[in-house]
Amino acid sequence: MAMTMAVFLLCAFTAAAVVVGGPSLAESDKILKLPGQPPVGFQQFSGYVTLDSKRKRALFYYFVEAEIDPVSKPLVLWLNGGPGCSSLGVGAFSENGPFRPNGQGLVRNEYSWNTEANMLYLETPVGVGFSYDSSNSSGYEVVTDAITARDNLVFLHKWFLKFPQYQQRDLFITGESYAGHYIPQLAELMVHFNKNKKLFNLKGIALGNPVLEYATDLNSRAEYFWSHGLISDSTYKLFTSSCNYSRYVSEYYRDSVSPICSKVYTQVSRETSRFVDKYDVTLDVCIPSVLSQSKIISPQQVTERVDVCVEDETVNYLNRRDVRRALHARLVGVRKWEVCSNILNYELLNIELPTINIVGSLIKEGIRVLVYSGDQDSVIPLMGSRALVHRLATQMGLETTVPYRVWFEGQQVGGWTQEYGNIFSFATVRGASHEAPFSQPERSLVLFRSFLKGNPLPESF
């Protein structure tokens, strides 16, 4: 396994060396102005990084420099999950980027994470958003976690050749949902790569409502539904004893749903209702553009979902020709930009690969880890994440350095937190959905700032 990976990397990097030229490469990716954009003082870039020497496979990025003094600020890579959802459409334009589409133009997000860092949004893997693979005209081949991690590593390596001033910069990787796979797997490759030649100055990773160990994560859904009144006592019993959710998903992706799981899941679906957003059980309506973020985690919702969003500002905006031109983006092999790809052919059973153990190995390397959880999310509920963090900390012998307590944003409680060994922490974001920075931007920014600085969350106001 390690051998195969090394060979892959070697080829990819040889290709990189051939293609890339001088330091002025970033200039052609510079965004002069996005249509409808208010004036700002920071620079933006976007464009492609090709992954192969034939330039058939390419990943699209959007990079926003920090608002103030970018030279002194770290570099932060943001990844959305799915698999197959866009970090540009979801992360940048709905969650923590500097702008949000609104009517004909863009409005500022005053809690943008580029107030604290230089933010790099990557549409990954190939087949997502504006990223493409044109090497095989008969379609997309199966993409696995391993391929995604390798491509992401090649991307970053080649992106540094465009932006050499960022290569030595403190680097953090953040993201949510299925990025609970992407991020630890990418970080692990970086650590491995650094053993030969120190290239990635990786300081920490932050994982929002992440899939880390699918049975624990998925099975906490039953308790979440039940404790929030979405299912009855008797259904809860069935959903924990007759057929739990991890078994259902596992059967579903093997095309072999048993009669008992079918019966239980039908009952659960009926009671929870299609008219409640599972990514935020307190929301009446869908979150525009992010409804289908986790195809894999909520298979039923994809096929049965009702679209209660009448319009989707991000989809409209990113499909404008003038916007595409300003972004240096192209449509390759698709007719339209989609929030979550429908051409990507992902190996869905990869959800069963645990990544919590990789998190442990990163901590051993001195890499800071934050697992945070929007506490209104029933898709990857806080109880699973909290239990996994606690279990790993215990296994590693990490002592509690911040006892379980509230943290503050302004004068209000922003959530709860616990920290282990001054390196590994868990935090909830109170009132937040699966996409925490979307629904609680101010609290999420406080969380982000503390994470970057390595400080415990504010204990008082």
Ligand X SMILES: *[C@@H]1O[C@H](CO)[C@@H](O)[C@H](O)[C@H]1NC(C)=O
Residue 177 annotated as catalytic: yes
Q: Is residue 247 within the footprint of ligand X (CB under 6 A)? A: yes
Residue 234 annotated as catalytic: no
Query: With CB under 6 A as the contact rule, which of the stretches 135-143, 185-193, 252-260, 418-426 interacts with ligand X?
Result: 135-143
Q: Is residue 411 within the footprint of ligand X (CB under 6 A)? A: no
- Residue from the set 44, 177, 246, 440 that interacts with ligand X by CB under 6 A: 246
Q: Strand pairing of 44-50 and 105-108? A: unpaired
Query: With CB under 6 A as the contact rule, which of the stretches 33-41, 132-140, 179-187, 193-201 interacts with ligand X?
Result: 132-140
126/148 Cα distance (integer angstroms)? 8
Q: Is residue 301 within the footprint of ligand X (CB under 6 A)? A: no
Residue 228 annotated as catalytic: no
Which two tokens mark 148?
A: 């995604």
Residue 208's DSSP bridge partners are 176, 372
- Residue from the set 38, 105, 139, 366 that interacts with ligand X by CB under 6 A: 139
Catalytic residue among 112, 177, 378, 385: 177
Q: Is residue 103 within the footprint of ligand X (CB under 6 A)? A: no
CA dist 109 → 289, 387, 438, 445 (Å):
17, 33, 10, 11
The distance of Cα 238 from the centroid of its chain, to the nearest Å, equals: 32
274, burial (CB in 10 Å: exposed 0-12, middle 13-18, buried 19+): middle
Least Cβ distance, residue 13 to ligand X (angstroms) = 22
- Residue from the set 185, 244, 272, 417 that interacts with ligand X by CB under 6 A: 244
CA dist 395 → 87, 211, 214, 424 (Å):
33, 19, 19, 13
Least Cβ distance, residue 243 to ligand X (angstroms) = 7
Compare residues 15 and 238 and give the one whose CB is closer to ligand X: 238
Q: Is residue 454 within the footprint of ligand X (CB under 6 A)? A: no
Instruction: Transcribe 385-446 into DSSP letters.
Output: HHHHHHHHHHHTTPPEEEEEEEEEETTEEEEEEEEETTTEEEEEETT--SSHHHH-HHHHHH
Least Cβ distance, residue 276 to ligand X (angstroms) = 23
Query: With CB under 6 A as the contact rule, which of the stretches 19-27, 29-37, 66-74, 138-146 interacts with ligand X?
Result: 138-146
Maximum Cα–Cα distance for the chain, whole Å? Answer: 66
Q: Is residue 258 within the footprint of ligand X (CB under 6 A)? A: no
Residue 377, C-beta contacts closer than 8 angstroms, at least 6 positions apart: 209, 278, 279, 280, 281, 432, 433, 434
Question: Which of positions 196-225 make contact with ligand X (CB under 6 A)?
Answer: 215, 219
Catalytic residue among 133, 217, 312, 377: 377
121/97 Cα distance (integer angstroms)? 9
Query: With CB under 6 A as the contact rule, which of the stretches 8-16, 36-44, 97-105, 238-246 interacts with ligand X?
Result: 238-246
Axis crossing angle, helix 356-364 with helix 382-395, rounded to the nearest 10: 50
Compare residues 152 and 216 and give the one whose CB is closer to ligand X: 216
Compare residues 29 and 151 and give the one whose CB is closer to ligand X: 151
Q: Is residue 256 within the footprint of ligand X (CB under 6 A)? A: no
C-alpha neighbours within 13 Å on the C-beta side of residue 340: 19
Q: Is residue 54 within the footprint of ligand X (CB under 6 A)? A: no
458 SS3 class: coil
Instruction: Give the residue among 47, 43, 45 at the shortest CA–CA distance from 69.
Output: 43
Query: With CB under 6 A as the contact rule, which of the stretches 94-102, 112-120, 240-248, 323-331 interacts with ligand X?
Result: 240-248
The radius of gyration computed from the CA coordinates of the chain, to the nearest angstrom, equals 21
CB 351 within 8 A of CB 214: yes
Which two tokens mark 177?
A: 């949902």
Compare residues 333 and 421 and give the one whose CB is closer to ligand X: 333
CB 396 within 8 A of CB 363: yes
Instruction: Transcribe 237-257 into DSSP letters.
Output: HHHHHT--HHHHHHHHTTT--
Query: With CB under 6 A as the contact rule, which of the stretches 243-251, 311-319, 405-413, 445-453 interacts with ligand X?
Result: 243-251
- Residue from the set 4, 14, 136, 361 that interacts with ligand X by CB under 6 A: 136
Compare residues 219 and 418 and give the one whose CB is closer to ligand X: 219
Least Cβ distance, residue 382 to ligand X (angstroms) = 16
Catalytic residue among 181, 434, 439, 444: 434
Q: Is residue 395 within the footprint of ligand X (CB under 6 A)? A: no
Compare residues 102 and 258 and give the one whose CB is closer to ligand X: 258
Q: Is residue 112 within the footprint of ligand X (CB under 6 A)? A: no
- Residue from the set 138, 256, 273, 411 that interacts with ligand X by CB under 6 A: 138
* Total chain residues near ligand X (CB under 6 A): 10
**251: number of Cβ within 10 Å:** 17
Compare residues 30 and 254 and give the one whose CB is closer to ligand X: 254
Supply the residues annotated as catalytic. Answer: 177, 377, 434
Binding stretches for ligand X (CB under 6 A): 136, 138-139, 141, 215, 219, 240, 244, 246-247
